[in-house]
């Protein structure tokens, strides 16, 4: 029964990665993936019908699978030089893996099969993550606008290196 859910998640991941790469944007895809992720969790919380919970899982993976992969790609695209990327990537993975510590507390076996507490908290955290990704997108957009303004004014160097230099525009 779980295989179709994983297949849908995989297809969603591939489609979103390909399109994200084609349009050279990451943040918009990550932020929009939070919607089906949250809705999928809320379907599971809101209905005691097993069929609805199963349908909720399909909705959930449409957004949840692509978020983590797109986030890793976004971090990789926007961190430079290599030394900054070498610290930033493991840090991001470490933060992401904190969910492994929390999940056993959010999804205790005695609350199964619906896991209302775990799914409700996960829905809320997915919404919070969407807002945080949105804030990051706004910050990077502002930085790009400042760089573009300096370049338009004739600046060739802003005295900064790596991703903050004028040579490097952030992938939004």
Given a cut of 90, is residue 166 above it in pLDDT?
A: no
pLDDT in tens, 11-43: 999 999 999 999 999 999 999 999 999 999 999
Going by pLDDT thresholds of 50, 70 and 90, the confidence category of residue 99 is: confident
> What pLDDT score was predicted for residue 30?
96
Peptide bond into 161 cis (omega under 30): no
Going by pLDDT thresholds of 50, 70 and 90, the confidence category of residue 59 is: very high
| The two three-digit tokens of residue 53, written as one number | 């919970």
Residues with Cβ < 8 Å from 98, sequence gap 6 or more? Answer: none
| The two three-digit tokens of residue 105, written as one number | 């507390």
Helix (H) or strand (E) holding 49: none
> What pLDDT score was predicted for residue 1?
83
> What pLDDT score was predicted for residue 29?
96
Separation CA 60–CA 44 (nearest Å): 9
The number of residues making up the chain comes to 172
The count of other CB atoms within 10 Å of the CB of residue 66 is: 24
Q: What is the mean pLDDT of residues 80-103?
A: 88
For residue 16, give the nearest of 81, 84, 75, 67 by alpha carbon: 67
- Note the pTM of the prediction, 2 decimals: 0.89
């Amino acid at each position: 029964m779980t295989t179709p859910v994983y297949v849908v998640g995989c297809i969603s991941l591939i489609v979103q990665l390909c399109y994200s790469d084609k349009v050279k944007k990451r943040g918009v895809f990550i932020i929009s993936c939070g919607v089906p992720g949250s809705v999928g969790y809320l379907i599971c919380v809101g209905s005691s019908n097993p069929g609805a919970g199963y349908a909720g899982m399909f909705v959930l993976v449409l957004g949840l699978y692509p978020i983590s992969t797109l986030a890793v790609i976004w971090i990789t695209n926007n961190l430079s030089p290599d030394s900054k990327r070498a610290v930033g990537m493991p840090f991001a993975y470490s933060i992401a893996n904190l969910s492994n510590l929390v999940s056993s507390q959010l999804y205790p076996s005695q609350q199964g099969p619906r896991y209302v507490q775990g799914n409700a908290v996960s829905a809320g955290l997915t919404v919070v993550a969407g807002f945080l990704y949105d804030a990051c997108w706004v910050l990077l957009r502002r930085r790009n606008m400042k760089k573009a303004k300096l370049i338009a004014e004739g600046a060739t160097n802003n005295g900064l290196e790596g991703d903050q230099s004028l040579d490097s525009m952030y992938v939004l």
